[in-house]
Amino acid sequence: MLSILALASLIGYALAQQAIFLLPEPGTSIAPGATVEVELHQADTTSSLAELGIAIGLMVCPSDGCAYWDPANDGIGQILYNGPFNPQWNPDGYTQSFNLTFPNVTGPSILSLTQMQGLGVSETF
């Protein structure tokens, strides 16, 4: 059995422009333990926007399915990546790819992105 992915982008804090998943696409089947390219797209940024980092998590949905699971409140599951986000300009816009190894789990799952950005130089957190 494979994991079928649903995708969610979560709000971090001081969020101005949110990145989205280009890859994988919603509904993608992922074999347990597979390494998969995850590509993020960031809307054009302003010079005052500082990328503070992202976390990509995989949550296997509860037995009643993914519909009522809100990663922002209910949790993002196992962290697949937690670190810097430094999208580079290319013909698709600002993107960054990560090769991430998925856990040995099966069933409907939510891949979520949590993003932290700072806007402006005088802001304190």
Ligand X SMILES: *[C@@H]1O[C@H](CO)[C@@H](O)[C@H](O)[C@H]1NC(C)=O
Which range in 11-19, 30-38, 53-61, 111-119 contacts ligand X by CB under 6 A? 30-38
Q: Which is nearer to ligand X, 16 or 34 (CB)?
A: 34
* Smallest separation, CB 107 to ligand X (Å): 12
Residue choice 13, 16, 31, 32 for contact with ligand X (CB under 6 A): 32
Which residues in 43-102 contact ligand X (CB under 6 A)? 97-99
Beta strands in the chain (DSSP E): 3-10, 19-23, 29-30, 35-42, 49-60, 78-83, 88-90, 93-101, 109-119
Q: Which is nearer to ligand X, 14 or 28 (CB)?
A: 28
Structural contact between residues 57 and 76, judged by C-beta atoms closer than 8 angstroms:
yes
Residues with Cβ within 8 Å of 75's Cβ and at least 6 positions away in sequence, in order, are: 57, 59
Site of interaction with ligand X (CB under 6 A): 32-33, 37, 97-99, 104
